[in-house]
Amino acid sequence: MPFDIQSVRQDTPGCHSILHFNNAGASLMPQPVLDATIGYLQLEAQIGGYEVAEQMRDQLEHTYDAIATLIGCSREEVAIIENATRAWDMAFYSIPFSPGDRILTSMAEYASNYIAFLQVAQKTGTVVEVIPNDQYGQISIEQLRQAIDERVKLIAITHIPTGGGLVNPAAEVGKAAREANIPYLLDACQSVGQMPIDVEKIGCDMLSATGRKYLRAPRGTGFLYVRQSLLEQLDPPFLDLRAAEWVARDRYIVRPDARRFENWETNYAGKIGLGVAVDYALQQGLDTTWRRIKNLAYTLRTRLSPLPGVIVHDRGVIQCGIVTFSVEGQDPAEIKRQLAEHAINVSVTERSSTRLDLEARGLTTLVRASVHYFNTEEEIEHFCTTLETIIL
């Protein structure tokens, strides 16, 4: 089925009243996601939360199948967790680190992940090492390979950083990790839903993602993938009666599947919405939408660059839908505020959310305009002419 921009815009109630270039923050939900989520909540109110969960069991279970299809794994390898950070944490904090162990990461690492590295380093004497970028601003595969030795306990990188167009070469990192037999944790928060993701092709052992960004699911949803062969080696940092079973007075058994990383109470309506959002993404075709996102972002960068004082900051060989720029002598927060007055949504990337990268480039704050497949060339034109009036 060819991509139908009119129909995806008709499905997106938000895009009629707002120009939304904040898809890396939280995208706009399509109508089917909204309907399924609200419909589920209404049923909870009408017949009871436990009762509707029983009645909608298949639909709730379907969310695992949809995610498995999306990233090319089995449903037993999927845990549904309230956000990408907690999903990542559940994997990361399961790994038993010892003094002298090494964690290898990238310059693009997300703040929450890096804070966790620092905490574990302080507690256990593990060493965190940042692999430098290559000339294109991506993690250097050559330097990564050189850094690998038998003390490396984990390779953990961010696929697409929160603050830029970069797409890290995740599959090449996977190849290096596999060859050395080192567990590989990928923060795919900005890439899942934006580009095709196949955990086999990438070669990652653990992957975290969120619902609200490029997947267009409700807020407070996310998931974790853990490879089957690693599952039973990972002892989750928290357990409850969903993750484990209390089988005798002094004994419990942890579930064998990835749901060992879940907990019992959760947002069921959100889980339904997440499944419908994944179905919706699959229906559009990730190859098709990824191509469109890259084209739109390219158009936006090309249109922005010649504007007076504007500097586009994105790096990488492949550049995604996240466009970052600054305007000489102007405060990104003020630009965002003025765009909002024209019903245009962007966000501001602060140094503290991706410190290694922005510090190295001498940047503090940037305007982040992130496009999705439902955006249009006309919106880009309108965005740039509006921006011009603001910055003049």
> What six digits make up the tokens of 234?
């990972």
Q: How far apart, in whole angstroms, are the C-alpha atoms of residue 60 and residue 275? A: 8
The reply to whether 85 sits near ligand PLP by the rule CB under 6 A is yes
Nearer CB in complex with ligand PLP: 133/162: 162
| Residue choice 12, 105, 162, 168 for contact with ligand PLP (CB under 6 A) | 162
Q: How far is the CB of 81 from ligand PLP (least distance, A)?
A: 9
Query: The tokens 């190849």 sit on which residue?
Result: 175
Indicate whether 138 belongs to the interface with ligand PLP (CB under 6 A): no
Taking alpha carbons only, the member of 132, 136, 180, 179 closest to residue 157 is: 132
Which of 1, 323, 328, 11 is CA-nearest to residue 160?
323
Is 89 a binding residue for ligand PLP by CB under 6 A? The answer is: no
What does the DSSP assignment read for 301-321? HHHHTTSTTEEE---SSSB-S
Is residue 83 a contact point for ligand PLP (CB under 6 A)? yes
| 187 interacts with ligand PLP by CB under 6 A | yes
189 binds ligand PLP (CB under 6 A): yes
Is 63 a binding residue for ligand PLP by CB under 6 A? The answer is no
Is 91 a binder of ligand PLP (CB under 6 A)?
Answer: no
What is the token pair recorded at 95? Answer: 């790994």
Residues in contact with ligand PLP, shown as a per-residue x/- string from 301 to 340 under the rule CB under 6 A: ----------------------------------------
CB 259 to ligand PLP: min, Å: 19
- If DSSP codes are grouped into helix, strand and coil, which group holds residue 168? coil
Residue 371: HSE in the Cβ half-sphere, 13 Å Cα cutoff: 29
Report the alpha-carbon angle 275-229-184, nearest 5.
80
Bridge partners (DSSP) of residue 207 are 186, 225
Would you say 273 or 310 has its CB closer to ligand PLP? Answer: 273
Residue 210 as a binder of ligand PLP (CB under 6 A): the answer is: yes
For ligand PLP, which is the closer residue by CB, 160 or 176? 160
213-272 binders of ligand PLP (CB under 6 A): 222
Q: Does 369 bind ligand PLP (CB under 6 A)?
A: no
63-66: Cβ within 8 A, 24+ apart? 63/271, 63/272, 63/274, 63/275, 63/278, 66/275, 66/278, 66/279, 66/282
Catalog residues that contact ligand PLP under the rule CB under 6 A. 83-85, 110, 158, 161-162, 187, 189-190, 210, 222
